[in-house]
Amino acid sequence: MNELIQQTLTWQNGLIFLGWAIVFLFIVLGFVTYAIYFERKVIGWMQFRHGPTRVGPLGLLQSVADVLKLLIKEDTIPQKADRTLFILAPIITFVPAFAVLAVIPYTPSLYFADLNVGLLYYAALSSLSTIGIILGGWASNNKYSLIGGMRSAAQMISYEIPLVISVVGVVMLSGGLSLRRIVEGQGSNFWEWNLLPQIIGFVVFMIAAVSELNRTPFDLPEAESELVAGYHVEYSGFRFAFFMLAEYVYVFAIASLTTVLFLGGWHPPLAILDFIPGLLWFMLKFVCVVFFLFWLRATMPRIRVDQLMSFGWKVLLPLALINIFVTAAYIELVVK
C-alpha cells in the first residue's frame, strides 16, 4: 500500500487506491456487523444470559438480520423537520468516522496515508461528527432529540479537550505527530511501549475516548430512560443505521488508535516473539481494547449529567495537564 502512495498519482493508481478503500470499507462493515453480535454475546455472558441464539448457527446471523431489517424499513421524515439538515446529519456523522481510519498504520507497510500530522488529522476529523449529531437533534424538531443533541455537544466538546491533551505526552516522547513514527518509536518489549511512561495519559485517554463514543457509562445523549434514544429518536431505517454505523466505526478507530499510541502497534510484547507477523499482534491488542469497551458497557451504570461534566473538567483535564509536566520531567531526567 505505501509503495502505491509514494508513486505519481495516475488514473490507474487512483483506481487501485479506490479499490483498496472499498475493500477496507467492507472489512470495517464486517467488523461492525459482528462487533454488535459479540458485544451482545459478551454482555450476555457477563450477565448470565444467552445473547443471540436463534438466527443462524449460534445466532451468528442475528446482526445480519438486524441490518437487513433496517435497510428495508420505511424511511420516515417528520413533517415539521428541517428536511435538508435531517438528511445530511447521518452522513456528516459517518463520513469523518471512516475518513480517520486512513492514517492508522497496521504494519510498517500496511496503511493508507502516513501524514506528518496524522494525529492532528484524526483529532480534527473526529470532532466533525459532533456537528452531525447536533444537526440530527435540532433538525428533527423534537424536544427529546434536541436535548440529546445539546447533551452530545456539551459532552463531546468537553471531553475532546482532555482527550487531545492526554496524547501530548506521546507526541513529546516520539517527537512527531505521524502515527507510523509513534509506533516505530516504541520497542519490541512491552516496557518500551508508551503505556508505562504514559500511564496517566493512557487512563485519561481511555475515559475520554469512551465519552467521545457516547457509550456506557457516558451514553447520556441517547439515554433511553429519559430521552427515548435522544438525538436520533426521529430517525428510522437506513438513516438510523448510519448513526449506529458511525458509533461502531469509531469503536474500530479508537481501538486502533489506542493500540498505535500506547500498546506498541505491531510490535510484540517480547523481542523473542518477533517472528510472529506484526499484523497478528496489532489485531490481538485491538481485540483486547474492544473487549474492554464491551466489558464497561456490561458492568457500569449511566452517570448523571452533572457528574459527567464535573468529572471531565475537574478531574480529567487537570490530570491531562499534569501528565505533560510529568512527561517533560521524564524526558529530561530519564531519556536524556
Which residue, 43, 72, 101, sits at the end of a domain? 72
Residues 324, 228 within the same domain: yes
Range 189-195 average pLDDT: 90
Q: pLDDT per residue over 302-313, tens digit each?
A: 888 888 889 999
CA distances from 288 to 138, 293, 333 (A): 36, 9, 33
Residues 87, 121 within the same domain: yes
Output the pLDDT for position 268. 93
Which residue, 14, 42, 72, sits at the end of a domain? 72
Domain that holds residue 149: 76-335
Which residue, 72, 99, 114, sits at the end of a domain? 72
Residues 57, 92 within the same domain: no
Q: Is the pLDDT of residue 93 over 80?
A: yes
Residues 179, 290 within the same domain: yes
In the numeric block, the cell 502512495 is attached to: 5
Q: Is the pLDDT of residue 99 over 70?
A: yes
Q: pLDDT per residue over 240-255, tens digit each?
A: 888 888 889 999 999 9
Positive or negative: CA dihedral 21, 27, 32, 35: negative
**Range in 10-19, 158-167, 200-209 with the lowest mean pLDDT:** 10-19
**Range in 74-88, 177-191, 217-231 with the lowest mean pLDDT:** 217-231
Residues 17, 155 within the same domain: no
SS3 string of the chain? CHHHHHCCCCHHHHHHHHHHHHHHHHHHHHHHHHHHHHHHHHHHHHCCCCCCCCCCHHHCCHHHHHHHHHHHCCCCCCCCCCHHHHHHHHHHHHHHHHHHHHHCCCCCCCCCCCCCCHHHHHHHHHCCHHHHHHHHHHHCCCHHHHHHHHHHHHHHHHHHHHHHHHCHHHHHHHCCCCHHHHHHCCCCCHHHCCCCCCHHHHHHHHHHHHHHCCCCCCCCCCCHHHHCCHHHCCCCHHHHHHHHHHHHHHHHHHHHHHHHHHCCCCCCCCHHHCCCCHHHHHHHHHHHHHHHHHHHHHHCCCCCHHHHHHHHHHHHHHHHHHHHHHHHHHHHHHHC
Residues 16, 91 within the same domain: no
pTM, two decimals, is 0.90
Q: pLDDT per residue over 24-68, tens digit each?
A: 888 888 898 899 999 999 999 998 898 888 888 888 899 889 888
Q: Take residue 281 and report the three cell numbers written for it.
A: 499482534
Biggest CA pair distance of the chain:
65
Residues 145, 124 within the same domain: yes
Residues 250, 159 within the same domain: yes
Overall domain count for the chain: 2
Chain mean pLDDT for the chain: 88
Residues 23, 129 within the same domain: no
Range 281-309 average pLDDT: 90
Output the pLDDT for position 8. 57
Output the pLDDT for position 324. 94
Q: Take residue 333 and report the three cell numbers written for it.
A: 531526567
Alpha-carbon gap, residue 290 to 258, rounded angstroms: 10
Q: How confident is the model at residue 6 (pLDDT cuts 50, 70, 90)?
A: low
Give the whole-number percent of the chain exceeding pLDDT 70: 97
Residues 37, 184 within the same domain: no
Residues 146, 54 within the same domain: no
Q: How confident is the model at residue 141 (pLDDT cuts 50, 70, 90)?
A: confident
Residues 187, 321 within the same domain: yes
Output the pLDDT for position 239. 87
Torsion of CA 33, 59, 292, 194, to 10 degrees: -50
Output the pLDDT for position 336. 65
Range 72-94 average pLDDT: 88
